[in-house]
Structure 1
């Protein structure tokens, strides 16, 4: 079978598929089961890698912008005379915006499509990144961070949904997480860029760098096909078939041959999803379990990560350069944890990764609690190890959450789940800011208990999804 690559633009609807005998039995069929079977037989090619890198660049800047505040606070705190409460507010307000964005933009993705939702999210956080750089005081920056967060909260979940929806079951974990690993690269490079940009060019430079993804909007709208799974689930079978032909043509042009798809034998319901399904009888246990994993993982991940530079600088009195260097070590730990997860999750499975990650975070936070976190070296060593463990779970969740829901509610399911990320990301920094004068040991003990409870819940109730077709998991 061959595919004619004559098409408009970067793989447009003019594509057609044929074989030597004429029409194939699956030609011009865009039902949910047909789309799923055609996606399942797609070999990995340069096309998938190109799409992953394009969307991943937006994900990179999402991570960069989310943590840029941690790099500028050591400068803004003495400049503006910020109190501990104001520091916590500047950290947490961005996550409130992300919570709003996760819910709003996931709704856009379900109604108008994945690619439009991603473009909207990138446009919002790019514009308000510039306005963050133009802020003249605490209150203006607080408002701009809130609005910037709306875009940040929508882009990563929808990107994860899209990449899951165009990837076949076998090897999906590694393929998706190599995409999500770009988020962890953004975390690390945010610290690296902050280490050089803030002292040399001022704090505004961090936000201006974070506005660069505005350049991605047009390429995403022109180059990235709409998700065929979403189109088919909405009953738009002709459009789903056109996008599948577009993808199949791109894969063939990349030098890969296509076999005829094999029927999956799975009945798939075409329907518009409702958010209330998340807590309905079919998905309640999955939903509550994954919400707890998001909360427990990110109360550690952001509770530690966003405060590290300020803790080293303000609480322990270390020089600015040393504080930023120590924070960079913690970020490198998070990246290492994410990389380990990406390369082992298809081998170990999702449940084992989450159990190990959450238990590891609990142990490291527990050690810090017992030591009282009284010395900077203690926070550097055990805090970085906890950050490493949390980093593994944090990236795995962007693979796992889209897997456990059907296409009709996948975006809102991921959006609702990542809302618990935002809640944890608000509570964690505020908790550190409020209790830091009473000793970091107490905060670490609370973090350890939450992570330990989540590890037990995962062991008992989490659904394993390794090597299973998306439609089979939610059938």
Structure 2
């Protein structure tokens, strides 16, 4: 952030205000949908690669004679790479631009997916998964920042979340392909499929203009003008209508980026709340769902194909939850949806602890209900977090917040691996209590951002 300050201190905020007003007059158009699709392809494979390990492990456990702690560490190590990747690529996005950072991250996780396909033992797969995690951790938060910055306030929740739906679709895609590819072709092919977006990375920078908001904040006025003019032309072309005249929206107070943009008087509460939301949501999401196929296989001794199908069904239920949220969040608002989702997960997991996890069907039913709600949170925080920080620090704010996702994703699977010997009920109770705490904190302390211009929420 210190490096940014010298640039920003000499910037006239009038250009930033102009860019904001021009973005806010843009209707959602075919160009916006095209941008969402291009980035969505990369995000689909990010999700696919993140979950692929869950459908590979039921084969690798007997093949490499892995223990439960081995499995937990294998799952967690990829998230260690994602933690550092989120921090690294958020800094790169703040320093070199959103689009360039996305290209680099996509290229990295695609190449490392090929490495995973050719792993020859447990240790080599650990290395490739860690390196792959750097790219996986960088792409999704920067994509969320970019989509938020090119979208006007009206309808932003629906538009961004319909893009974020690509991530759970990627999870479902991993489940669908995994349930067929792994038994029929072998585990190596799951990783080979995940390498596909390397081709997209070669063209992404030509297909997408840089965020005009970021360019203006960096003082690159000519490039900001070229970027917003391109978006305006494409919007007019796809809509077939002239754009309305610009109206003053906000008056920004340009200042250097600093840690006060995350921890100052205006931002500290929202930072702490959103960190808790990220940690709790993904502790539940990855702590349970990544383990599910292996639990069905090793605890309930279901056939491999049925174990994978049960995992697929849970992913489909989660997708329905995210779709429901995407279509209604601009009506109900962020805070009510998020608080209710944490509460729903807590009730489902608490019920499973109370009645006992005595059958795979009971586990499938209650965990799927919990996943319906936790999936809302998993994509909702990608909408919510960019809204909480100013453009000058948005990528860093989102990147550091997603580091809590990676920390939770490391801890969750390892906790399951350590606790599973004492009974599944204790695992569900622990996750249910965390969801209950997050529900209370979110309801009491989260701020509402629905329908507000980014610069109004975060000056």
> TM-score when scaled to structure 2?
0.96
**Alignment correspondent of 2:189:** 205
RMSD over aligned CA atoms reads 1.1
2:242 equivalent among 235, 244, 257? 257
* SS of residue matched to 1:74: helix
| Paired residues for 1:10-25 under 5 Å | none
> What is the rounded CA distance, in whole Å, between the counterparts of 2:140 and 2:214 in structure 1?
17
**Alignment correspondent of 1:291:** 275
Matched, 1:85 2:69: yes
Q: Does the aligned pair in 2 maintain the 1:45–1:256 contact within 8 Å? A: no
2:382 equivalent among 390, 398, 406? 398
Q: How many residues align?
A: 446
* SS of residue matched to 2:127: helix
1:76-99 CA-to-partner distances (Å, cap 9, x unmatched) read: 111111111111111000111110
Cα deviation for residue 275 of structure 1 reads 4.1
Q: Which runs of 4+ in 1 moved over 6 A?
A: none
**Alignment correspondent of 1:225:** 209
Matched, 1:360 2:355: no
1:69 equivalent among 53, 56, 61? 53
- 366-375 or 436-445: which moved more? 366-375
* SS of residue matched to 2:165: helix
Cα deviation for residue 245 of structure 1 reads 0.6
**Alignment correspondent of 1:20:** none
| Paired residues for 1:164-313 under 5 Å | 164-254=148-238, 255-264=240-249, 266-275=250-259, 277-313=261-297
- 251-260 or 424-433: which moved more? 251-260
Q: Does the aligned pair in 1 maintain the 2:261–2:389 contact within 8 Å? A: no
**Alignment correspondent of 2:417:** 433
> What is the rounded CA distance, in whole Å, between the counterparts of 1:355 and 1:396 in structure 2?
11
Matched, 1:33 2:17: yes
Matched, 1:321 2:305: yes
* SS of residue matched to 1:31: helix
1:140 equivalent among 124, 129, 147? 124
> What is the rounded CA distance, in whole Å, between the counterparts of 1:270 and 1:104 in structure 2?
25
1:342 equivalent among 306, 323, 326? 326
Q: Does the aligned pair in 1 maintain the 2:261–2:390 contact within 8 Å? A: no
Note closer, same or farther for the CA distance 1:184–1:457 as it changes in structure 2 (3 Å cut).
Answer: same
**Alignment correspondent of 1:23:** none
> What is the rounded CA distance, in whole Å, between the counterparts of 1:207 and 1:363 in structure 2?
36
**Alignment correspondent of 1:455:** 439
Gaps of 5+ in 2: 1-12
> What is the rounded CA distance, in whole Å, between the counterparts of 2:256 and 2:349 in structure 1?
43
Note closer, same or farther for the CA distance 1:470–1:435 as it changes in structure 2 (3 Å cut).
Answer: same
1:416-440 CA-to-partner distances (Å, cap 9, x unmatched) read: 1111111111111111110101001
1:389 equivalent among 373, 379, 392? 373
Cα deviation for residue 201 of structure 1 reads 0.9
Cα deviation for residue 30 of structure 1 reads 7.4
* SS of residue matched to 1:212: coil
Note closer, same or farther for the CA distance 1:142–1:275 as it changes in structure 2 (3 Å cut).
Answer: farther
**Alignment correspondent of 1:51:** 35
Q: Does the aligned pair in 2 maintain the 1:364–1:382 contact within 8 Å? A: yes
Matched, 1:464 2:448: yes
